[in-house]
């Protein structure tokens, strides 16, 4: 599943830079249905500054309904054009669901020479919480943690001179002819490590929504992402 970071996101979604006062992520939400004409839609936040880690606690508040393609909730670094010479480079991890199956926990690495997708668990029930982190160890080397435990090797990710941005988002991918996908994902404790080496809330986030998605029940570190 391909992320669209910052500039690439702007071509497909509406980016709102004003950040409202946020409230806590709920334990339940309505299962509403909507869809875009086709392609990717998102509901989340991004920070374009170079970071050294990003983390959030993810929950499928209700069971996703996936008619085609996929839906997901993830945290990650990098994106399209984030590698040297405008190549694609990212590492993301979170929850994903596909037609006819429940949610699963995964991570995905994209490097200029290809994509590596790993499923960590299947049959994840709605309401199950995972704290997912993508962290830099040695400079330029990244790995994935779930609930504080390393679940991936350390990956050397080549980056451009501007470093890797952070993103915390839900996404849906659909074709133009399929029925709608729907989801409600909770995000809590969203934070990143910036140049001082400390964890902070997103300080200059871009709020990412589209005509088919929404962000509600927002706090300084959390939100509910759902179809609208």
Q: What is the DSSP letter of 30?
A: -
Q: Cα(59)–Cα(45) distance, rounded to whole angstroms?
A: 16
Backbone angles phi, psi at 84, to 5 degrees: -60, 140
Strand 89-97 with 206-209, pairing: unpaired
| Matching residue, tokens 């049959």 | 123
**How many angstroms separate the first and last alpha carbons of the chain?**
21
Q: Which CATH architecture has domain 7-227?
A: Sandwich (2.60)
Residue 169: the pLDDT is: 96
Give the residue extent of every domain in the chain. 7-227
The rounded radius of gyration (Å) of the Cα atoms in the chain is 16
Q: Give the pTM.
A: 0.83
Digit-coded pLDDT (tens) for 106-127: 999 999 889 999 999 999 999 9
Quick one: pLDDT at residue 35?
Answer: 54
d(CA 64, CA 61): 9
Q: Which residue has the tokens 């040297």?
A: 84
Going by pLDDT thresholds of 50, 70 and 90, the confidence category of residue 34 is very low
- The string of pLDDT tens digits covering residues 154-187 is 999 987 667 899 999 999 988 766 667 899 999 9
Residue 62's DSSP bridge partners are none
Q: What stretch of H or E contains 9? A: helix 7-10
What percent of the chain lies above the pLDDT cut of 70? 81
Q: What's the 3-state SS for 126-179?
A: CCCEEEEEEEECCCCEEEEEECCEECCCCEECCCCCCCCCEEEEEEEEECCCCC
pLDDT tens across 16-33, in order?
A: 322 222 222 222 223 334
CA dist., res. 166 & res. 204, Å (int): 11
Q: Are 99 and 86 in contact (CB under 8 A)?
A: no
The upper half-sphere exposure of residue 1, i.e. CA atoms within 13 Å in the direction of its Cβ, equals: 30
Q: What is the pLDDT of residues 40-66, one digit of tens each?
A: 889 999 998 889 999 999 999 999 999
pLDDT at 48: 87
């Amino acid at each position: 599943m391909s992320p669209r970071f910052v500039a690439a996101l702007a071509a497909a979604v509406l980016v709102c830079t004003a950040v409202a006062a946020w409230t806590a992520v709920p334990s339940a939400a309505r299962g509403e249905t909507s869809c875009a004409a086709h392609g990717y839609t998102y509901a989340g936040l991004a920070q374009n500054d170079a970071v050294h880690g990003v983390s959030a606690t993810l929950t499928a508040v209700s069971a996703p309904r996936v008619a085609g393609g996929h839906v997901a909730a993830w945290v990650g670094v990098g994106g399209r054009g984030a590698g040297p010479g405008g190549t694609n480079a990212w590492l993301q991890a979170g929850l994903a669901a596909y037609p006819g199956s429940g949610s699963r926990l995964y991570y995905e690495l994209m490097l200029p020479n290809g994509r590596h997708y790993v499923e960590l668990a299947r049959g994840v029930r709605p309401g199950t919480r995972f704290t997912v982190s993508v962290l830099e160890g040695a400079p330029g080397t990244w790995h994935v943690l779930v609930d504080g435990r390393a679940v991936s090797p350390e990956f050397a990710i080549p980056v451009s001179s501007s470093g890797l941005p952070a993103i915390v988002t839900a996404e849906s991918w659909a074709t133009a002819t399929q029925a709608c996908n729907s989801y409600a994902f909770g995000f809590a404790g969203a934070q990143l490590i910036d140049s001082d080496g400390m964890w902070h809330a997103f300080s200059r986030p871009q709020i990412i929504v589209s005509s088919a998605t929404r962000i509600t029940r927002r706090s300084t570190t959390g939100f509910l992402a759902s179809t609208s």
